Structure 1
Amino acid sequence: MGAYVIGEPGRAFGSVVPAPDPAHWHRPDTVIDGYAVHYGGRTAHVRAASVRGLSHRHYGKVRQDEYLVRTTDDGRYVIAAVADGVSAGALSHRAACWAVRQGGDHLCDILSTMDAPSIPWEKLFEVIAADIADFGADLLGDRGLTAREVAERMATTASFAVLDLATGGLYGASVGDTSIWLLRGGWFPLQPVKNDGADIHTSAVRALPLPATPVLARADVQPGDVLVVLSDGVGDPLGDGAGEVGAALAELWRTPPPELEFAAQVGFARKTYDDDRTAVAVWV
């Protein structure tokens, strides 16, 4: 299995020698998952990968992205989440991990009492933000810290998608520049595309635990569709999905690739794009 290159790879791709982060030996450079889940005659094939970016590899910094995939206890709903720790915070990877873990647990609790169309997304993100603020205050050893003070050390964007295997309904929400897409031959963004139509591109984002209003996503998923949740490490080079990166990934992900191949594809080489890369894809 070789490296995947889309367009001009840039010099860094062939020259960076990855260095570990001595402060976080427990944190893997790359994590990968792949399996199938079944419910009511439908099968969902899952692939997920989070890959440390070239910049973090070069400077010996921890991977700040995280993902989660799980089902509810009854198997009806697949929950896919991606979080991207804000790079300025030394402990933002902890915020990303906590966001997807707590968010997944809260969603399972919610879906045990109501159907997905009724998910109170704004309240959910308020609870996740409070969870991160409390966790951060404990981690930093000062219960008096405000959410803003915690956010200076650890903050994260997050996207959650809920796929109903009984009906094909897809429901999701995002804070920040993680994003939810549907791949149906081509790429269909389920939320506004970052910097789309902007004269000046910006990397500034709103991130938890600061208050933020989530951007919702809704779709009806058909057999053969692919639900894809991305960090901006993949979303930025993808753009609106109509360019070279979109065409290449759409072809690679027409069907579920082997797990290791999927991770290599998520970590594709392309000049100037050196951020952490995370993607969760679900083929129905």
Structure 2
Amino acid sequence: MTFDWTPPLIGATGPESPARAPQTQPYRPDTVIDGWAAAGFEVRAASVRGPGHRASGVPRQDDFALATVADSVIAVVADGVSNAPLSHLGATVVCRTVVDYLLRADAAIDWHDLLRCAGWALVEYAGRQLGETDPQRAETLLASTVVVALVRPDGPGRAVAQLVRVGDSAAWRVRDGSWEPLFAALSDPQDELLPDGVAALPRVPAEVDPVEVAIAEGEVLVLATDGFAEPFGHGTGDLGRLFTDGLATPPPMTRLAWMLDFAGGSWDDDRTVLAVWPVSPAPS
């Protein structure tokens, strides 16, 4: 059986350029994928360098992290701000810091403290690189958005997720083919924005209230960066149909990466998608 690995075309054909190796150290791969089954859950994730960064040799600025703790799933997606030259490293620092925090946290999560620690990790990282602890310098070099979900079991085939974010990454609950956004449209106060109008760590909102959502078997929680969310829109176009069908059940990891490597139009940003399905235990 053969499979056509040509990237799915969304909209009109765009300009094609050969991919250049990322001009950065340490080396950062073009594409990363992950997926596994845990007690009560299936997860899949992929992060793909966009055509624009492939053509220019810029490293993939998105990242994600997955972990389990006490039968729950920790899911994190981060997107380095384009104008920050080391934001690809910032996205990784944020993902790892969030996972480490939640692995050590008590049952009641202090979500503001979680984001504050993730932001301060960027300041400390910049300090190790530059020999000075300067939040403004860390912001200039490493700024990153983040969306975090802690997904707890709530009975066979059911789960409850709590989510927080800083920036324009997105999250949905998908059920019966409908994509329900879990965050309202951005309306951040000006003092929480970077000079270019982007909300990102290390800046943390004054108040952080998690969104809580129930997820049942047959539904899926999806987190994504804006490189996916913007072309996806309301999910009514070709990309929406591709992912509605493709995420109806947990796909092979390589298929998710193939779907995410869509081409066409002017959509050239890095794109990351992470999905969590609650599942009932197999009959014994």
Give the TM-score of the pair, scaled to structure 2.
Answer: 0.87
Distance 1:183 1:144 in 2: 42
Give the direction of change, closer, same or farther, for the CA distance of 1:56–1:266 in structure 2 (3 Å limit). same
Is 2:201 the counterpart of 1:208?
A: yes
Say if 2:213 is the partner of 1:219: yes
Q: Residue 259 of structure 2 aligns with which residue?
A: 265
Is residue 53–residue 59 contact of structure 2 (8 Å, CA) maintained in 1?
yes
Q: Distance in 1 between matches of 2:229 and 2:147?
A: 12
Structure 1: segments with no counterpart, 5+ residues: 196-202
Tell me how large the CA RMSD over aligned residues is: 1.8
Cα shift at 1:154: 1.1
User: SS of the residue aligned with 1:173?
Assistant: strand
User: Is the CA contact 1:177–1:231 (under 8 Å) kept in the aligned structure 2?
Assistant: yes
Aligned match of 1:232 in 226, 240, 244?
226
Deviation at 1:193, TM superposition (A): 4.2
Distance 2:56 2:150 in 1: 36
CA distance in 1, matches of 2:186, 2:258: 24
Report the counterpart of residue 60 of structure 2 in structure 1.
63
Can you list the C-alpha shifts for 1:183-220, whole angstroms capped at 9, x where unaligned? Answer: 1121011102469xxxxxxx832111123354632111
Matches within 5 A, 1:144-159: 144-145=133-134, 147-159=135-147
| 1:11 equivalenced with 2:8 (yes/no) | no
Shift of 1:10: 2.6
Q: Which amino acid aligns with 1:21?
A: P
Identity %: 32
Query: For residue 251 of structure 1, what is the aligned residue in structure 2?
Result: 245
- TM-score of the superposed pair, with normalisation by structure 1: 0.87
Distance 1:236 1:258 in 2: 24
Q: Which runs of 5+ in 2 are unaligned?
A: 188-195, 279-284
| Distance (Å, rounded) in 1 between the aligned partners of 2:210 and 2:170 | 10
Distance 1:137 1:144 in 2: 5
Query: What residue number does 1:129 align with?
Result: 119
| Structure 2 counterparts to residues 92-111 of structure 1, below 5 A | 92-110=87-105
How far apart in 1 are the matches of 2:265 and 2:24?
A: 29
Task: Give 1:175's aligned amino acid.
Answer: V
In structure 2, what is the Cα distance between the partners aligned to 1:260 and 1:142? 41
Q: Whole-Å Cα distance in 1 between the matches of residues 54 and 89 of structure 2?
A: 18
Note the 1:131-210 alignment, pairs <5 A: 131-139=121-129, 141-145=130-134, 147-167=135-155, 168-184=159-175, 185-193=177-185, 204-210=197-203
Measure, in 2, the Cα distance between the counterparts of 1:160 and 1:18. Answer: 31
Deviations 1:243-282 (A, max 9, x none): 4422321112111111111101112123111000111111
Pairs aligned (count): 262
